[in-house]
Amino acid sequence: MPHVVPVGYRHRVPKPASLIEAHRLVKRFGDFVAVDGVDLQVQPGEFFGFLGANGAGKSSTMRMIGCVSPPSEGVLRVFGLDPIKDGPVIRSRLGVCPQQDSLDEELTVLENLVVYARYFGIPRRVARQRAEELLEFVQLSERITSKVEPLSGGMKRRLTIARALINEPEILMLDEPTTGLDPQARHLVWERLFQLKQRGVTQVLTTHYMDEAEQLCDRLVVMDHGKIIAEGSPRRLIEQYSTKEVVELRFGNLPPETVARRINGRISEHCERHEILPDRILLYTADGDAAAEAASREHPAPSSVLVRRSTLEDVFLHLTGRTLVD
Amino acid sequence: MVTAVLATRLGRLASTPAGRIWAVCLRDVTAAHSVGYTFLLVVGFLEPVLYLLSMGFGVGGMVGEVVLADGARVSYASFVAPAMLAASAMNGPFFEGSIGFFSKMRYRKLFDATISTPVTPFEVAAGELLWSLGQGAMYSLAFCTVMVALGLATLGQVLAVLPAALLIGFAFGGLGLLLATFINSWKDFDYLGAIIFSMFLFSGTFTPVEAYPGPAQIIVWLTPLYHGIELTRGLILDALSLSMLADAAYLVVVGLLGLWLASRRIARTLCR
Amino acid sequence: MIHPAMAALEYHLVCYRRSWRGTIFTFFVVPVVFLLGMGWSIGGYLDGDAAGQGGLGVSYLTFLAPGLLASTAMQVGVGEGTHPVYGAFHWTRTYHMMRMSPLTTTDILVGHLGYILVRVTISATGFLLVMALLGIVDGAAGLAALPAAVLVGCSMSAFVFAFSATITEPVLLDVVYRILVVPMSLFAGVFFPVAQMPAGARLAAGLLPLWHGVELCRSATMGIPSQLGAPVHAGYLLLWTVVGFLVARWAFGRRLAG
């Protein structure tokens, strides 16, 4: 069933300059440096992503861009305006979908949107019409008079996205929009975000899901400990920081450590780089099939062999390491 | 034609600070349609009336008449009623401003979303104050109606006292907001309730302030409720004096200070 | 091994260890300040009156204190039976947690009501102590006011438990407090003798458990006979307690089964 982007959602003529510009941006909470000298530009129409583990500084950067958190240092311009001086003006042109659904549980689905619209000075009649169109867009029309509390996680998320669109924003800010959703709900959200992108809405997304970043983002930055450690399109990042393919070898109950010691030295002949994990050995290589074949001839032979394309996950783990961050 | 012009005017007003303050208040109006809430509102009308009946007529039946500072004698019910009005005008806005606001800001994190819109922390505070004031106005109006019905005030006196009641609501609404920003858990409201209740007992509510010992008079003099009661009692017992202007000014200052400091603290909490 | 209901009681006592400071304000400081404030201000009018202290025959403080003792006991009983009980069903889900252990519904209810008993006893003892220090307790017989106050607290609490277990809108908790507690404390003879009121209202006040509690407490601390005799007052309160308990057990069972 095709779904139309709401009529009220007018396509805006993109302005030539960067919509978001940050230079040496810093955010400190007491002694803790959450964002540590970030430089970035987001162009009109772009789908831009922040990739990083929990606590990498993604949300803090998003909150600064959303003009609800003053930068500690550095320069930040949104629509060419200063968030400190022109907060309300900037915010009137942004749509924000925060990490935690901050929906109003005392209001119905429709009321949530209409009340929110009033904060933007949108007249009641227009607000109601837009709300109905947006609820159609996020497939919540049947729940229009329902309270928020009984909605499922996916429904709440879609409602939050609809709410972020009520002012027809020029930039849509999405902080981990699919965290905690089931696969169906995630795909529905992705579809809608893609449709918005087709309409020319600039979107800024944070995520720790690599597949999400790979699917949606034109360009992304990888953040770690408040710093940007890599930047580029998903494809370029994979090319730059990983190999084309990855082979995953498993050895039944035999610990990979033991295997590695037995075939000592020969692993690196099969690949450019390898990694020994508690449950498997990963071979990073341009030609996965050849490496798999070579590995199968070894003794002990692997109990299972999987050849797959390199993903952003490989890039990410390579860049930030496998240690838990929190 | 006229409506079109009006609509554009209103439309333009909607995206001003005033429009946004109104929008914040409107959210509370929208949320207030639950059955339980309506019920609570009715009870809120009744409660001060019950106090009035019990204290004014029950206890008043034993007390008889009270001699005022100017020598006039009034029934105890007439003496207590204006103080009860002041207390009722205080309670609604104060507890809506403190408990209500605390639950919205800290517990339900409602304003985290609000400040992502053009609404500023000051507008959040002002909108919430407006809402508590509206509630206070309803309680005061109901109480005044009962006073007229029981013959404790005339229509003219009531019309004069209503703005004073609003002023009391403004002062305590602002104070409530400010205190709410200092509160960390529900348990703290026990202390807040205790303080407000003590103030209610000792602000010249049940006895003229002249009866208090000297040092106590000074403490009483500092409480905003005392000045509120001075206003309501003066207006209803027709004992007007110039000092009432000072009482009114004191309430305005308390309200403004509360609102201003609260909005600064709200900004600190929400815009980290 | 301890009785399961004791285990439930222990849970509430452990929680109380962390929250008792706030309750001191609500259930001790406020009532005492109320007593002193009203005793002083209303007493200021009445006690100097040669015509016999507004018809009371004693100082207003002496008259008011036992009434406030009973009314405080009721407030503890109702206060602890509203939000904490509703919360244990809907917010913390403590009861559901207990239900997953070998505890029965009755154990859970008895344990929590036992806790109310402890709380009312603590509050009433504190208040009675203040009264003794003020010299307004008529000898050792005044100690009888303690069980009387506890009985008032329990008689109301059990019914409120049932109510909290039944409703689904928390705002109704405030409604019960203000519809039940406030009018009762204002018109059940705490601040002025019910004889001040018209006959119909006097009769209605006679049905309120608080009035019976006030009568019992007053007769104990003032050393005067109560209006209907102690057995009648105590029996009436006991009846409320037992019926309230049965209703609460039914309501708890229904809520925990659903």
Integer Cα distance of C146 and C144 in angstroms: 5
pLDDT(C21) > 90: no
Residue pair B199/B223 in contact (Cβ under 8 Å)? The answer is yes
Q: Which chains touch A (3 or more CB pairs under 8 A)?
A: B
Mean pLDDT of B54-73: 86
Give me the pLDDT at residue B11, please: 58
Instruction: Say yes or no for a CB contact (<8 Å) between B20 and A115.
Output: no
A203 — pLDDT class (breaks 50, 70, 90): very high
Give me the pLDDT at residue A128, please: 95
pLDDT(A266) > 90: no
Q: Residue A125: helix, strand or coil by DSSP?
A: helix
CA distances from A149 to A105, A106, A108, A161, C250 (A): 6, 8, 9, 17, 28
pLDDT in tens, A212-258: 888 899 999 999 999 999 999 988 988 888 888 899 988 888 888 78
- C204 in reach of chain B (CB within 8 A): no
- B3 in reach of chain A (CB within 8 A): no
In a domain, C98, yes or no: yes
B11 contacts in A (CB within 8 Å)? 121, 123
B13 — pLDDT class (breaks 50, 70, 90): low
pLDDT(A3) > 50: no
pLDDT(A281) > 90: no
Distance from CA of B240 to the nearest CA of A (A): 43
pLDDT(B161) > 80: yes
Mean pLDDT of C86-111: 91
Amino acid symbol at A280: R
Q: Which two tokens stand for residue C117?
A: 């008993």
CB-nearest partner of B43 from C55, C56, C175: C175
pLDDT(B8) > 80: no
Q: What's the mean per-residue pLDDT of chain B?
A: 88
Mean pLDDT of C1-18: 88
Give me the pLDDT at residue A218, please: 94
Integer Cα distance of A281 and A108 in angstroms: 52
DSSP string, A55-112: TSSHHHHHHHHTTSS--SEEEEEETTB-HHHHHHHHHTTEEEE-SS----TTSBHHHH
Residue with tokens 């060419």: A80
Q: Which two tokens stand for residue C74?
A: 């009721």
B197 contacts in C (CB within 8 Å)? 30, 33-34
The dihedral through the CA atoms of B162, B167, B171, B173 has a sign that is positive
pLDDT(B220) > 50: yes
Q: Among candidates B182, B82, B176, which has minimal Cα distance to B132?
A: B176
Distance from CA of C83 to the nearest CA of B (A): 12
Instruction: Say yes or no for a CB contact (<8 Å) between B118 and A89.
Output: yes
Alpha helices in chain A (DSSP H): 58-65, 83-91, 109-119, 124-137, 153-164, 183-198, 210-216, 234-241, 256-262, 267-270, 288-296, 312-320
A11 — pLDDT class (breaks 50, 70, 90): very low
Residue pair B212/B132 in contact (Cβ under 8 Å)? The answer is no
Give me the pLDDT at residue A325, please: 58
Amino acid symbol at A215: Q
Amino acid symbol at C59: S
pLDDT(A14) > 60: no
Q: What is the pTM of this model?
A: 0.85
Where is pLDDT greater, at B101 or A325? Answer: B101
A105 contacts in B (CB within 8 Å)? 108
- C97 in reach of chain B (CB within 8 A): no
- B54 in reach of chain C (CB within 8 A): yes
Residue pair B16/A88 in contact (Cβ under 8 Å)? The answer is no
Integer Cα distance of A164 and A172 in angstroms: 7
pLDDT in tens, C99-144: 888 899 999 999 999 999 999 999 999 999 999 999 999 888 899 9
Mean pLDDT of A285-308: 85
Q: Among candidates A234, A170, A174, which has minimal Cα distance to A205?
A: A174
Q: Which two tokens stand for residue A106?
A: 């005392």
Distance from CA of A54 to the nearest CA of B (A): 18
Integer Cα distance of A124 and A62 in angstroms: 29
Integer Cα distance of B210 and B83 in angstroms: 15
pLDDT in tens, B115-147: 999 999 999 999 999 999 998 998 899 899 999
Q: Among candidates A69, A53, A61, which has minimal Cα distance to A37?
A: A61
In a domain, C145, yes or no: yes
pLDDT in tens, A80-129: 999 999 999 999 999 999 988 889 988 999 999 999 999 999 999 999 99
B91 contacts in C (CB within 8 Å)? none
CB-nearest partner of C182 from B37, B40, B50: B50
Q: What is the CA radius of gyration of chain B?
A: 20
CA distances from C53 to A186, B191, B240, C227 (A): 77, 34, 33, 20
Integer Cα distance of C159 and C164 in angstroms: 9
A2 — pLDDT class (breaks 50, 70, 90): very low
Integer Cα distance of B221 and B199 in angstroms: 11
Integer Cα distance of C125 and C64 in angstroms: 17
- A91 in reach of chain B (CB within 8 A): yes
CB proximity list for A218: less than 8 A, separation 6 or greater: A46, A47, A48, A233
Interface of B with A in 28-47 (CB under 8 A): 30-31, 34
Chains B and C touch (3+ CB pairs under 8 A): yes
Task: State whether CATH 3.30.70 applies to domain A243-309.
Answer: yes
Instruction: Say yes or no for a CB contact (<8 Å) between A88 and B118.
Output: yes
Cis peptide before C231 (omega within 30 of 0): no
Kindly list the domain boundaries of chain A, sorted by start residue.
20-233, 243-309
Residue pair B62/C56 in contact (Cβ under 8 Å)? The answer is yes
Mean pLDDT of B175-181: 94
Query: Which of B9, B34, B116, B128 is the best residue to mutate to test the A interface, defined by the most A CB atoms within 10 Å of its own CB?
Result: B116
CA distances from A188 to A1, A143, A196, C37, C209 (A): 12, 17, 13, 65, 60
Range of the domain at C183: 4-15+63-257
In a domain, C160, yes or no: yes
Mean pLDDT of A57-86: 94
Distance from CA of C154 to the nearest CA of B (A): 22
Q: What is the CA radius of gyration of chain A?
A: 23
Residue pair C128/C137 in contact (Cβ under 8 Å)? The answer is yes
Please give the interface size between B and C, counted as residue pairs whose CB atoms are below 8 Å apart. Answer: 105
pLDDT(B261) > 60: yes
Beta-ladder partners of A281: A249, A276
Interface of B with A in 88-117 (CB under 8 A): 108-110, 112-117
Indicate the pairing of strand A273-276 with strand A171-175: unpaired
In a domain, C40, yes or no: no
Residue with tokens 């057995």: C231
Amino acid symbol at B124: V
Q: What CATH number is given for A20-233 in this structure?
A: 3.40.50.300
pLDDT(C20) > 70: yes
CA distances from C27 to B87, B137, C146 (A): 21, 31, 15
A116 contacts in B (CB within 8 Å)? 113, 117
Give me the pLDDT at residue A117, please: 95
Integer Cα distance of C3 and A53 in angstroms: 49
Integer Cα distance of C258 and C253 in angstroms: 9
pLDDT(C165) > 80: yes
Mean pLDDT of B205-231: 89
Q: Which two tokens stand for residue B53?
A: 């009946």
Give me the pLDDT at residue B7, please: 54
Q: Which two tokens stand for residue A323?
A: 């240690």
Integer Cα distance of B245 and B91 in angstroms: 23
- B33 in reach of chain C (CB within 8 A): no
Q: What's the mean per-residue pLDDT of chain C?
A: 90
Least confident of A122-136, A309-323, B136-150: A309-323
pLDDT(C230) > 60: yes
CA angle, A216 then A219 then A225, to 5°: 105
DSSP string, C51-110: TTGGGTSS-HHHHHHHHHHHHHHHHHHHHHHSHHHHHHHHTS-HHHHHHTTT--HHHHHH
Instruction: Say yes or no for a CB contact (<8 Å) between B190 and C26.
Output: yes
CB-nearest partner of B112 from A102, A105, A116: A102
Q: Among candidates A206, A178, A216, A226, which has minimal Cα distance to A62?
A: A206
Mean pLDDT of A68-75: 94
CB proximity list for B83: less than 8 A, separation 6 or greater: B203, B204, B205, B206, B229, B232, B233
Q: Residue A40: helix, strand or coil by DSSP?
A: strand
Distance from CA of B201 to the nearest CA of C (A): 6
Instruction: Say yes or no for a CB contact (<8 Å) between A107 and B113.
Output: no
Q: What's the mean per-residue pLDDT of chain A?
A: 87
CA distances from A226 to A37, A53, A58, A75, A221 (A): 8, 11, 8, 16, 12
CA angle, A218 then A219 then A225, to 5°: 145
A263 — pLDDT class (breaks 50, 70, 90): confident
Give me the pLDDT at residue A9, please: 45
The dihedral through the CA atoms of A64, A70, A75, A79 has a sign that is positive
Distance from CA of C41 to the nearest CA of B (A): 6
DSSP A149: T
- B201 in reach of chain A (CB within 8 A): no
Integer Cα distance of A308 and A248 in angstroms: 8
Integer Cα distance of A135 and A129 in angstroms: 10
- The total domain count for chain C is 1
For residue B222, with 0-12 CB atoms within 10 Å meaning exposed, 13-18 middle and 19 or more buried, which class applies? exposed
Mean pLDDT of C61-77: 95
Instruction: Say yes or no for a CB contact (<8 Å) between B43 and C179.
Output: yes
Interface of B with C in 169-208 (CB under 8 A): 187-188, 190-191, 193-194, 197-198, 201-202, 205-207
H/E element holding B253?
Answer: helix B243-270
Give me the pLDDT at residue A275, please: 84
Instruction: Say yes or no for a CB contact (<8 Å) between B271 and A68.
Output: yes
Integer Cα distance of A194 and A120 in angstroms: 25
Integer Cα distance of B55 and B206 in angstroms: 9
- B269 in reach of chain A (CB within 8 A): no
In a domain, C23, yes or no: no
Q: Among candidates B24, B166, B48, which has minimal Cα distance to B100?
A: B24
Integer Cα distance of A152 and A181 in angstroms: 9
A7 — pLDDT class (breaks 50, 70, 90): very low
In a domain, C11, yes or no: yes
